[in-house]
Amino acid sequence: MTALLAILAKIWPFLLAAGGVIFGMFRHQQAAKAEAQAKQREAEADAQVAQADVVQAKANQDATRAGADNAKVRRDEDAAVAGEPDADRVLHDEWGR
């Protein structure tokens, strides 16, 4: 038994160092895995932002087109109204005779 304790007394620093190395390797693997997961979540978030940007751009394009269509309708209506005789003038001409 004393021989075993004598051997352990001589090699305990090496056992402790080996344990530290093994612990460090596992911690490094955990950190690498956590970093990879974080990068994956970041990529997924970037993809969602890009998709939202595409939807927003399409909505803006549709709104611009609708605005242009409404402006054309308004110009056509204004032109049609401008071609009609003035109601006051028509009434004056009819009742003034």
Report phi then psi at 86, rounded to 5: -70, 130
Q: Quote the domain boundaries for residue 83.
A: 2-95
Q: In total, how many domains does the chain have? A: 1
Q: What is the mean pLDDT of the chain?
A: 88
pLDDT at 97 over 60: no
Can you read off the two tokens belonging to residue 96?
Answer: 């003034």
pLDDT score, position 37: 97
What's the pTM value of the predicted model, to 2 decimals?
A: 0.52
pLDDT greater at residue 88 or residue 61: 61
Q: Which of 9-18, 42-51, 77-86 has the lowest mean pLDDT?
A: 77-86
Residue at 2: amino acid letter: T
pLDDT score, position 91: 65
Residue at 43: amino acid letter: A
- The average pLDDT across 32-52 equals 97
User: What is the widest separation between alpha-carbon atoms in the chain?
Assistant: 139
